[in-house]
Every structure is written in structure tokens, then in C-alpha cells.
A and B are shown apart, each in its own frame.
Chain A
Amino acid sequence: MKKKWLSIPYALWALIFSIAPLVIIAVYSFCSRSPYGKIIYKFTFEHYRKFMEPIYLNVLWRSLLLAMISTVVCLLVGYPMAMIISKASLKKRNILMMLFVLPLWTNFLLRTYAWMVLLRDQGPINQLLLSLGIIDEPLKLLYNTGAVTLGMVYNFIPFMVLPVYSVLAKMDECLIEAAKDLGATSTQVFLKITLPLSMPGVVSGIIMVFMPAVSTFVISDLLGGGQTILLGNLIQNQFLVARNWQFGSAISMIMMVLIVIAMTISSKYKSEDGGGLW
């Protein structure tokens, strides 16, 4: 039985609400701007050229750098964690994994806000250090790049642990035993067996952490306090404050191209049956 017509509602929906908006953004990014900020349908490269100015390139560089640092930290902290969980007994494993996913279910904004409270000048960390006499005046923990990186790692680390864990849990134990029987040390086993076999999960994890990290504006806004301007903040500002939709669209296009490039590069290292969430 042919059921092709069943796809029509979704096809229409996707056309209107997924594809058309992106086309609009793409068109806007090449449109001129009237003195009052209105969109004039005249082709221009102005907005892309504007992005090449040092201040904006700096924002791009900072976004990429912070996203990369948080991805690396997530990998370094998350990989051993995924390994520990995958080695636990079956019953324990499920509970441990559940505990990792649970924070994801609480509101993202509230989780970030919690760190705002923790890192404040009068927050518990400073209070503790002061009362112990380790410091004389409160440390400036909030509103800097460190706080932003911390917020990214905190919010996105489950996205690293989940795919790595799902690959490691499915891995054949016999391979490791065989390597050990043949005289490999545990370092060798890890470098030559475990790590290469878990690559699909690692790649999934890198994509799933890097993407939200490079495009966030909430974390940098709340924990960076306007000191750390990232691509996301720039886009938000152009759309809602500066009302320069053309420039905002151009930045979005550049960000999308970057993400597509990052995904093509990483998908080369990913086999067909990857360790995604599914």
C-alpha cells in the first residue's frame, strides 16, 4: 500500500517552518539596510565584510576557543566517567547513568542560575574560603571567561558521557581479554583497543558538546555578565537590541557554515553505527 500522501502535512510544515525561515535569513544577510534599519532588497556583501573587522573576528575566535576548551574538558572528565560507569554491574550501571541524565531534565536556565548563586561574591564558595581564613576578601569568581567555561562544562558534560558510555557498554569484553592474554599492558589495551573502538562515541560527544557551546548566549550572558561576548550574544544583540537583522543574519550564516564544516570533518572519523543517543 502506498502511503506517500501521509507525508504531505509534515512536508508542508517543514517547508514553512524549517526551510523557509533559513531561506529568509540567507536572503536578509545579503540585503542592504536603510538608515532606519529597514530591509532593502538590494544585494550587498557589506554585512559579511563587516564581520571581517577585528572586533568581530575576535568574538568569533573567543567563541571557538571557549567551545573547544569546554569540549576538551568535557572529554577529559567525561571519558573516564563513561568508562567507570560501563565497567559497573548492570544494575548499578542503570542507576549511575540515570543520575547523569537527571540534571538534564531540570531547567537549563535554573541550572546556570545555580552557578550564579554559587560563584557570587557573597556566595557559599567565597563564604567558606573567608571563614576558613584562606582569603581576606572575596574572590571574583563570577563574570569572567572561567565562569563561562565552567557553565558550559556543567551544562554539556552529559552530552559527552552519554554517547561514549553507549559505545563502551556495547564493546566486546573478549577483545580486551585477548589483548591482555597476548601480553599487552593496561595502557596499551586502552590506547590500542578501547580508545579506537570508542571513537564513534567520542566523535558524537564532541559534536554534541561543541555545537551548543559555540552557539550559546545564555551561559555567557548570565555567568559572563556581558564581559564575555560570544557569537550567540552578538546575534541576540543584533536581532533584539541593535535591530540590525541583516548583520545578525550574516553572523548566523557564518556560524552555520562553521558548524557544517566541523560536522563534515568529524563525521569522517565516525563509522556507520555511531554511538549517538539513539
Chain B
Amino acid sequence: MSPGLDSHSDPDLSRDPQQAGVAPDGLQVPGAVLAAIEGALNSYLTLDPEGAQGFAPLYGRIIGIEIRGLGARLTLVPGPDRLQVFGSYDATPDCLIRGAPLALLRMMTAERKESEIGPGAVEIEGDTAIAHELAKALGGLDVDWEEQLARLVGDPIAHPVGQGLRGLAQWGRRTGDTLTADLKEYLEEEVRLLPTHYELEAFLAEVDTLRDDVERLEARVERLARGRHAGPPLARKRKGKRAKGPGPAKAQ
């Protein structure tokens, strides 16, 4: 019926993006993709109704997410039991979160959000409490897969399957840890390809000492050079002049 399935391919919208309320440049996410994202997010939320309650304080808040690099803008509007996802939304967002894709992902999943927001990897404009609340709500989602399976096949089957999977995951984690430790020991102690933790610490401490020594030496050289150009400090005072000499180039 229609070749252009959404506004993205529409000539009017692309001709005058300002009028359409979209970001003046950058990528506009097609409506079909937004609908798919919204569908996927909401399906996930229905799997963890308790976790989804974390979005309740954000009901009706307009949260803009700008993905740096792509220039794409998404707008999330959480509702009582579902999220709405738009491309550009024609109202000033209550909170605008801006960052590179990976930084945004890290912020959403990090235990301590400050670590991502602090160094400027993610910028937040507007009400920052909303961004924290959103990250908290997303982080609080934890789907009980065993419960979901139980709805399909019943508890008697779902529970052992869940136990089995949990055991398998634990075994995997334990094996992984052991392998990592063994490999580390082999590289550090047996073939001596890598320095040990203590060697590395000592080396770094020596580097620090050396750097301080160099800085002290540099200061000393500078002081001596200044003295040589300007004569003895007492003479300078008597003449009432201040010595101005081109200092030596600052060492790196």
C-alpha cells in the first residue's frame, strides 16, 4: 500500500526537519525500528513485573537519549506499566542524556553511576535525578526465568531445570576462575613472560621516584640558571629591580 512505511522516508519531513521537530542533523530512527524497540522493551518488562515497578516514579517524564556519533535521538516516556519509545518528541525533555553508545550502555548497567557520569563520558541536561532513577529502574530488572518456564511447563519440571542451569552456570564460573588463575600463574611464575603484581607495583613506585627526582632536578637547574642571569639576590634588592630572565625551556 505504501512504499514509505514511515516518516523517515517522507519527503516533507526530510525537507524540513526543524518543522517536524526532529534533530536538525543526524540519524532519525525509522518508526518501524522504534516500534520494534518499544515492543521488545515492553515484552521484557512484562517478564519482571516487580522490577517494572521501578519505572513508576518516572510516569510521564520525557527522557531524551542522544547517541553521540550517530546523532540519533530517542525519547522514552515511561508509563504505569509500559514504556513508550519515540524518535524525536515535540516537547523539551525533562532530562536529556547524551553520550557515546558504549558509555550509555555502561551507565545503564554500572553499579556506581557516578563513575560514568563523573569523567564526562555521559552528559546529563535537565533533571539529573530522572537519569539516576532510570538507570536504577533498568538495573533493577531481573527476570526470573524459572518462573517464566514454570508458567509453560509447571513447577515440577521448571524447578529442576532451573537448578540444573544454575549449577551449570556456577560450574562454568568456577572453572573460568580456576583457568584464569592457572594461566596467570603460568605466565608470571613458570615462563616469566609477565611481571607479577608485586614486581609491577615496585616498578611503578620506582618510576614515581624517578619522576620526582627529575622534577626536583629541573627546579634546581631553573633556580641556578635564574641566579646566574640576575646576579646575587642582595644586589637585585638594592637596585630595586626585579630580575627577568628567559627561563630555561620547561622540561617535560
Q: Do A and B come from one complex?
A: no
Chain B residues with a Cβ under 8 A of chain A: none
